[in-house]
A and B are shown apart, each in its own frame.
Chain A
Amino acid sequence: QSVLTQPPSVSAAPGQKVTISCSGSSSNIGNNYVSWYQQLPGTAPKLLIYDNNKRPSGIPDRFSGSKSGTSATLGITGLQTGDEADYYCGTWDSSDVVFGGGTKLTVL
């Protein structure tokens, strides 16, 4: 069982918007930045959002992140079929890294 809680799956139609939640506690999300990773089928994870809401170079502004208290949210607008992937939130808890269980995004 993962320390951070994510919904197992979300789905939406192309062009629509979807949000993925990540819930933790005061010892992890409540006191640290959250990052988000995208894992396309058969590939390694890739950084999508860091420091709660910053996008690395090359990540389109369709992807956004936010944090409030002990929860974080990833938002994706203008959904494309290429966005179908597993999405993971991550942060630190003391000297350990903790991840969410992952959310599978299906673009219908």
Chain B
Amino acid sequence: EVQLVESGGGLVQPGGSLRLSCAASGFTVSSNYMSWVRQAPGKGLEWVSVIYSGGSTYYADSVKGRFTISRHNSKNTLYLQMNSLRAEDTAVYYCARVAAAPPSYFDYWGQGTLVTVSS
């Protein structure tokens, strides 16, 4: 059974850093395409980043240069390193698996982890 479990969210001050983790089971992260999607309180879904099985990474303009997506193959875990955090980064962050080589859909989602950026 495919499962995605995010962790690492919390309260952080503006300008601070946080690293989110997404532990996967039921499939191999490194062989798949994985993404982060966020949802600000009361707002819609916003794509954040994707990492291809080959290692290529892409980012939304709103986080480019501040966020880094990566993975740890032996831990079968996806990460999102978030630096220079701003109030507008406050959101629930979901990790999701891309079903096949992009362009493709998200077939599995985690339960999300809340990041709050506030002083």
Chain A interfacial positions (CB closer than 8 Å to B): 2, 32-33, 35, 37, 43-47, 50-51, 56, 86, 88, 90-92, 95-102
21 contacts between A and B (CB under 8 A): A2-B44, A32-B103, A33-B103, A35-B105, A44-B94, A45-B45, A45-B96, A45-B109, A47-B106, A47-B109, A50-B99, A50-B107, A86-B44, A90-B45, A90-B105, A90-B106, A92-B103, A95-B50, A96-B58, A97-B37, A102-B44
CB-based nearest A residue for B46: A99
Return chain B residues, CB-CB under 8 Å to A90. Answer: 45, 105-106
Return chain B residues, CB-CB under 8 Å to A92. Answer: 102-103
| Nearest 8 pairs of A and B residues by beta carbon | A92-B103, A35-B105, A97-B47, A102-B44, A50-B105, A95-B58, A99-B45, A44-B109
Interface residues of B in 58-117 (CB under 8 A from A): 58, 60, 94, 96, 99, 102-112
Q: Knowing A44-B112, A50-B99, A95-B58, say if A100 contacts B106 (CB, 8 Å).
A: no
State the CA gap A90–B94 with chains docked (Å): 15
State the CA gap A101–B102 with chains docked (Å): 21
Return chain B residues, CB-CB under 8 Å to A96. Answer: 47, 58, 60
CB distance from B23 to the nearest CB of A (A): 15
Return chain A residues, CB-CB under 8 Å to B110. Answer: 44
Return chain A residues, CB-CB under 8 Å to B96. Answer: 45
Interface residues of B in 18-71 (CB under 8 A from A): 35, 37, 44-47, 50, 58, 60
Return chain A residues, CB-CB under 8 Å to B35. Answer: 97
Interchain CB contact under 8 A, A56 and B107: yes
Return chain A residues, CB-CB under 8 Å to B104. Answer: 33
Q: Which of A43, A47, A86, A95 contacts B105 (CB 8 A)?
A: A47
CB-based nearest B residue for A3: B47
